[in-house]
Amino acid sequence: MPKRGTAVSNTSHSPSQLIRREIKLPLQSNQYTEFLLSLVDRGIHPRRTYAPRLVHSIYLDTIEFDDYFDNVSGISHREKIRIRWYDEKVELMALEVKSKKNKVSGKRVIDIRNPDQIIPTSRCGLHALLRLNRSILPQALFSSYRLALEVEYVRSYFELSPHIRMTIDRNIQYRKLSPHRGLRMKRSPVDHVVEFKYPVDNEMDFRDLLREIPFRTFRHSKYVVGMDTVTIG
């Protein structure tokens, strides 16, 4: 098996990668209302940049769930691999390799062809989609990775300043992709996930903008929360 952390992505960031900080704020409904009021109290008025979208993600992991355990253990250099599409546009999919090293996040995106509009929620569907795109995908996907989790949520998009973006995820649901579990979606124990995204050079701008917001940020992974939810539940 390839060495952990290098199976799909390189350790160095290529020019095509998106490099940024991602700060997450998981909130329950009452906290979410308080958070919105705290923005208004401080004169922060988020500007909507896109219409809300339904986000679908299929996470892949090794047989031993290495990516899951790397995240739980807080390994400084780790990655997650997923197939993503928006709304019902299954003909427009992408393979995303998300990496994190020393609190800096990177994302490499590979657009994949899906002329047959395959939904990769089964082993056959995944293999068919990967075969269609074999020439452009990392070969480790074909030998070391398998279906792990389906995630679905509604995402809203905002801008707080020219360099600081904010997304808000709600109606988060999970489904384990395994022949041994049922197909029912399970709701997340977290009602909303607010995420701030900005270039690493704008760290002080972010701190100045939100330093008085009365909430603490936490390390939060939908993949980890989802796996815990569908396994324990």
Q: What is the CATH number of the domain that holds 174?
A: 3.20.100.30
In a domain, 176, yes or no: yes
Q: What would the mean pLDDT of 98-118 be, rounded to a whole number?
A: 88
Is 90 exceeded by the pLDDT of residue 189?
yes
Considering the domain boundaries, does residue 9 fall inside one? no
With bands split at pLDDT 50, 70 and 90, how would you rate the model's confidence at 196? very high
Residue 197: pLDDT band with limits 50, 70, 90:
very high
Q: How many domains does the chain have?
A: 1
Question: Could you tell me the residue range of the domain that residue 205 belongs to?
Answer: 18-232
Question: Please, are residues 93 and 129 in contact by the beta-carbon 8 Å criterion?
Answer: yes
pLDDT grade for 6, boundaries at 50, 70 and 90: very low
What is the pLDDT averaged over residues 84-97?
A: 94
| pLDDT of amino acid 182 | 56
Does residue 152 form part of some domain? Answer: yes
Query: What average pLDDT does this structure show over 77-91?
Result: 93
Distance set, CA 102 to CA 39, 71, 153, 195 (Å): 29, 13, 28, 18
58 located within any domain: yes
Highest mean pLDDT among 31-45, 55-69, 89-103, 178-192: 55-69
Mean per-residue pLDDT of the chain:
87
Q: CA 88 to CA 65: how far, in whole Å?
A: 29
Q: What is the pLDDT of residue 1?
A: 41
In a domain, 189, yes or no: yes
Burial 81-90 (b: 16+ CB within 10 A, else e): bbbbbeeeeb
Residue 30, domain member (yes or no): yes
| 28 assigned to some structural domain | yes
Give the residue-averaged pLDDT of 213-224. Answer: 85
**197 assigned to some structural domain:** yes
Mean pLDDT of 194-200: 93
